[in-house]
Amino acid sequence: SQTIHQWPATLVQPVGSPLSLECTVEGTSNPNLYWYRQAAGRGLQLLFYSVGIGQISSEVPQNLSASRPQDRQFILSSKKLLLSDSGFYLCAWRQGQNTEAFFGQGTRLTVV
């Protein structure tokens, strides 16, 4: 069966520090991968998606970047965090375009 792992679960980082959040999927190949952010009281916002290794599309301009170095690995990064980067970050995957999407357990990022 397929599983998705996301870590760390919580993270407190100072302003200006770098960020690296990792997501891996097991039990499938060539998944579509997504990074969402959930801000308090707001819906989930798509940040990045990837349909293959090295293929990254950004939905919104921001202080973050994403990479997909391996088929089932998706990384969210920042060189210098801002206070506004605080939020709940969720990784998701889907096999194909019209199937169910599955989410990880999320990372709570607090920038102080």
Partner 1 sequence: KQEVTQIPAALSVPEGENLVLNCSFTDSAIYNLQWFRQDPGKGLTSLLLIQSSQREQTSGRLNASLDKSSGRSTLYIAASQPGDSATYLCAVKEEPGTASKLTFGTGTRLQVTL
Residues that bind partner 1 (CB under 8 A): 6, 32, 34, 41-44, 46, 49, 51, 57, 59, 90, 92, 94, 97-106, 108
Written as one string, the DSSP assignment of 87-108 is EEEEEEEESSSSS--EE---EE
CB of 9 to partner 1, least distance (A): 9
Pairing relationship of beta strands 107-111 and 10-13 according to DSSP bridges: parallel
Nearer to partner 1, 19 or 47 (CB): 47
Handedness of CA 1, 101, 69, 29 (dihedral sign): positive
Tokens coding 4: 């998705």
CB of 96 to partner 1, least distance (A): 8
Nearer to partner 1, 15 or 51 (CB): 51
CA atoms within 13 A on the CB side of 80: 1
Nearer to partner 1, 18 or 105 (CB): 105
CB of 18 to partner 1, least distance (A): 24
